[in-house]
Amino acid sequence: MTELIEKEPLSRSKRSKAAQVILITGGTSGIGHSLAEAFLAQGALVAICGRSETALEQFRKDHPEGLAIRADVTIAADRAAMLDAVVERFGKLDVLVNNAGTFVDRDFTSGKDATEDLEPEIALNLTAPIQLTSEVLVRWPTISSLVFVTSGLALAPPTRAPTYGAVKAGLHAFAEALRRQLAPRDVHVLELLPGLTDTPMNASHPAKHKMSPEAVADVTLKALAGSKPMALPGIVKALPMLLRLAPRTTKRLVAES
């Protein structure tokens, strides 16, 4: 299949005039699904991927104008087939949202090996978004925007999940460096750092007050429209300032929340 590559860089304003094509990984539930709904409401053409055929089929029924692709983003062949499907259906890609991820509690004081299934966690949360981003940039060197869903915990790692904090901090660093690297191409790199959100991944968390995924999506789209470097929903908006003013206290409070 012929790959679509823009021959001449276009300014971001010119690229945004036509209906944008959005690809969201992990788009069948939680933040990813709310982002898909929000983009669709704005008139965008949306493709999502996931591993649950039941959830994908539901998305197809709800949004026949969209594209739901069964893919495991940690598998190179699946990523390639997914991008081919986007080209075949829409002919281009304007925005990639690296959203798929997982949260794993790991207790390194338990006396047991705390690294069980560590490789799949790192692959999904860190390696796969980096690999997919590279593959997208090969096909679309001047893509309009790249979005990375990290976490407020990338700035203040959680005590109960040290490896989650580590991989999200790694993705945070990658997004920051990539933003500088792609600046001459006018490619917008947005990092979304949600706090505790009411998603299936956080269903067992005892906290009573969780941000809705719809609210997170709203903040994200506004940051995207404003070409902001970061989207900081809810209480996370104050986190960078608090880390500067009282780093030890802030990290302790966030890490134990």
Residues forming the active site = 164
- CA 83/CA 92 separation, integer angstroms: 9
- Other beta carbons within 10 Å of 170: 17
Buried b (16+ CB within 10 A) or exposed e, 178-201: bbeebeeeebbbbbbbbbbbbbee
- Other beta carbons within 10 Å of 165: 20
